[in-house]
A and B are shown apart, each in its own frame.
Chain A
Amino acid sequence: MSDMTANNPATPARVETPFQRFRAEFFESKIATLALAIFVIIVLLAVFAPWITPQNPYDLAQVTVMDGRLPPGSESIDGYTMWLGSDGSGRDLYSAILYGLRISLTVGLASGVIALLIGMVIGLVAAYAGGRIEAIIMRIVDLQLSFPASLVALMMVAALGKGVDKIILALVIAQWAYYARTVRATALVERSKEYVEAAQCLGISRARIVFRHILPNCMAPLIVVGTVQTASAISLEATLSFLGVGLPQTEPSIGVLIANGFEYMLSGRYWISVFPGLALLLTVVSINLVGDHMRDVLNPRLKK
């Protein structure tokens, strides 16, 4: 309430849309702005990788074992500088990291979006159907949430095997329940509000009320959960690939790169694992910081 009284007398004429207000509040935090900038840069680097790297690390014609295990700053046989060094089979690490980010981000975003859509629909159905259907769905959700997501994902890859599609499926199965729980909780609150009653009085169909009226009001918490879960999907994929049960060597995500460098670590060739690790770290931490701050901005209870 104090928020309104503080804003209204000063700007009575201009009406801010919720999105504008959100944007203004979001950029108030320097850390969150920086994190968002870093994430955007990472995505751009990954997207434009083929045009900004000196070699395609998976084109065998461009890679030679002669360049293997060079420390950062060495010059390759083809004459360019390997700023981050090279790995055991002579790939330029800078190039390998950008190509690896493409795979890691694709897997993370794809599983995040698919899990969000599936969880959203299931959560909405539970909230709007009520009764027995809701009880059954929520029992399954609770049951799944009693296992850590990492364990569910591990079980799934143990059952499904390696490969991009299988990892995405495993991550979706591990994460849909988080979205379903969030959507159902928000939708239950929204359902009891007057605008829904008004819509019902107008004779609008159930499906239309759920998707056009209730769903848009559930988007804020859904997006927050989405960012955090996507970061955790990226991190989970890297973990599984590091353990050797995630992506195969032919799909070298960041996790695979770190795993390849692990054997060289004890002999002091730190860069093969450390630089891909830093890339993973920047990605995951920047997404988490953005998500964390979005939650603070979108949560009315935390407003002063």
Chain B
Amino acid sequence: MRYVDEYRGADKARALAARIAGLCAPGRSYTFMEVCGGHTHTIYKHGIEDHLPENVTLVHGPGCPVCVIPMGRVDDALHLARQPDTIMTSFGDMMRVPGGSRSFLDAKAEGADIRMVYSPLDALRIARQNRDKRVVFMAIGFETTAPSTAVTVQRAAAEKLDNFSVFCNHVTIIPAVKAILDSPDLRLDGFLGPGHVSTVIGCHPYRFIAAEYGKPLVVAGFEPLDILQSIHLLLRQLAEGRCTVENQYARVVPWDGNPKALRALSDVMELRPSFEWRGLGTIPYSALRIREAYAAHDAERVFDVPGVRVADPTSCQCGEVLKGVLKPWQCKVFGTACTPETPIGTCMVSSEGACAAYYNFGRFTRTAVREATRT
């Protein structure tokens, strides 16, 4: 088996692969979605599918925060960055994400003051050191990073740093999963739940997936062994006719999440009535905005944000990849017009994007080899 000796606990991995095979009913196929881009990365890097029986398929979900930012929001951010006496800040992942015509990096080269930060607190420090400038932090991410933005806004308010604002693009994972469950395109048998998001939200919010949709979900860690164990837990539930939420990553994820983080979130942010996701379209109550009480730190209130809407490029099929309908290599421009150096779609930009992960690691996966030899 390829790579298996590199795993921590290679013997355990082999034993698990055998148990997984034993749980699969002959003639039945199983499709599981890994929601989180971190899992996608592990799966391609370590060739996890090579250790699974042919009738078990993993499909990739929407859990890559950079990938789901629509081009219009990038253009809105660039509009803010071009305002006089303004410094735009964001995470490094954001820099190469294409907008309608430009990325952050392009705008920076044209003279906009755009700075990469590791933490929202870095952006706050820039605001503290540049009181004559307006400093905007373009906030992206699921519930993993949203509490950090919330605490930073609380801090800005406490320090009365009214030259600091957040262009809030935080999204929430549950409505995205629900949109996928409601989509007719895909038949899933269960989910690998996101590890780090669950550190914040805990395991309770997933219960409707088991209760109302009849699909098991296992919150999974990020090592190859974690992924295999989680697939084993999903198959065991199906074999025993059970359907519930399990926590394979209990060594990091508390069942109740992080209550302090959730409190900071609900103090500073509230759900938007609707938000456009790249590829997935508009999903109601799926993203966060800054509450009125913190209006002075809300870039959408401080500035006049144009609200640009840009249709996704027709050649790019990120939407289908994000919904798990297409594998990266089935996209028409994958690896030709769209590469990590010249990305057309967001899935090729972020290292957690399915296309980038596959481009870098996955070229010899089971399915790819099978499809290549067929043509």
Task: Judge: A and B partners, yes or no.
Answer: no
Which chain B residues have a beta carbon within 8 Å of chain A's beta carbons?
Answer: none
